[in-house]
Amino acid sequence: MDPLTAAAAAGLQSRMDSLDLLANNLANTSTSGYKSDREFYNTYLSADALNNPDPAVGDSPVVERHWTDFAQGSLTSTGNPTDLALSGRGFFAVNGPNGTLYTRNGSFQVSPQGALVTTEGYAVRMSDGTTLTLDPSAQLAVAADGTVSQNGAALGQLQLADFADPSLLEKAFGTNFQSPDPQKVAPQSATNVQVAQGKLESSNASPTESAARMVMLLRHFEMLQKAVKIGAEMNRQAMEEVAKVGS
């Protein structure tokens, strides 16, 4: 492929990846605690081009990685006492099947054993690493600092984890995040967060903004497609008219 077509094709491919991310965001506008993903474009340089002082030819844009937008979602009142929402920086910690998972989705339930669990059945961790044992008949009260109490007696404090750089977390199934390396990306105690009881954090994927970005993506795609066509047309003319041998 000639450089023009190669660059335009890479551009087309990356816009398709962007639409994949956008489609996932829009599909999850009703998922509590969902954080939207954005793309991070970069130019791909071949090894030859890296050492070339003038790498203008041969660099093509690629979606190299995504970044997760950890912006606060709006809090919706549900009236369910086991629904908890976080306002500020931090995550609930839950016992996943392969280690601790972190989530902002506080749609919890009480398990038959009395533990506070997520919709997947993962138990919510307390600050001392244990899980709760609740009394089914007593009212559940959760204070802003995560202290859980029943009948006026404090049962413990929910573990509220924060990370120096949350962008290093990986997304796992079901609005959960996991640390790629528990040693390097270790949770700290969150200080700048409040727990709201009877509320859920809505997804921070906004349909309006996504619609605008979709229009932009489509127009980019159209322009790149035109560029490929122009490149093909130039090739055709080069072959049919310039390189005409004899008359």
Partner 1 sequence: MIRALNSAASGMTAQQLNVDTIANNLANANTAGFKMRRAQFEDLIYQSMVQPGAAAGQQTTVPSGLQLGLGTRAASNEIIFSQGAFTQTGNPLDVAIQGKGFLQIQQPSGTIAYTRSGSLQLDRNGNIVDVNGNTLVPQITIPATAQNITIAQDGTVSYTLAGQTAAQKAGQIQLANFQNPGGLNSIGNNDFLPTDASGDPQVANPGGAEGLGTLAQGYTEQSNVDVVGAFVDLIQSQRAYEANSRVVKAADEMYQQVNQLTQ
Q: Contact positions toward partner 1, by CB under 8 A?
A: 12, 15-17, 19-32, 34, 37, 45, 47, 50, 63-67, 78-80, 82, 105, 107, 109-114, 119-120, 136-138, 167-168, 170-175, 180, 207, 210-211, 214, 217-218, 221-222, 225, 228-229, 232
Helix, strand or coil, per DSSP, at residue 204: coil
Residue 118 tokens read as 């997520």
Give the span between the Cα atoms of 225 and 8, in whole angstroms. Answer: 7
Q: What counts of helices (H) and strands (E) characterise the chain?
A: 3, 17
Q: Which of residues 70 and 221 has its CB atom nearest to partner 1 in the complex? A: 221
CB of 92 to partner 1, least distance (A): 14
SS3 of residue 18 by DSSP: helix
- DSSP symbols for 130-169: -B----TTSPEEE-TT-EEEETTEEEEEB-EEE-S-GGGP
Shortest distance in whole angstroms from residue 22 CB to partner 1 = 7
Q: Do the strands 99-103 and 176-178 form a parallel or antiparallel pair, or are they unpaired?
A: antiparallel
Q: Which of 112/246 has CB closer to partner 1?
A: 112
Closest separation between CB of residue 214 and partner 1, Å?
5
Q: Which is nearer to partner 1, 109 or 191 (CB)?
A: 109
The Cα–Cα gap between 138 and 212 comes to: 48
Identity of the residue, 29 or 87, whose beta carbon is nearer to partner 1 in the bound complex: 29
Least separation in angstroms between CB 34 and partner 1: 6
Q: By C-beta, is 208 or 247 nearer to partner 1?
A: 208
Q: Least distance in Å: CB of 220 to partner 1? A: 10
Least separation in angstroms between CB 141 and partner 1:
14
Q: How far is CA 21 from CA 18, 63, 224, in A?
A: 5, 11, 19
Smaller CB distance to partner 1: residue 120 or 162?
Answer: 120
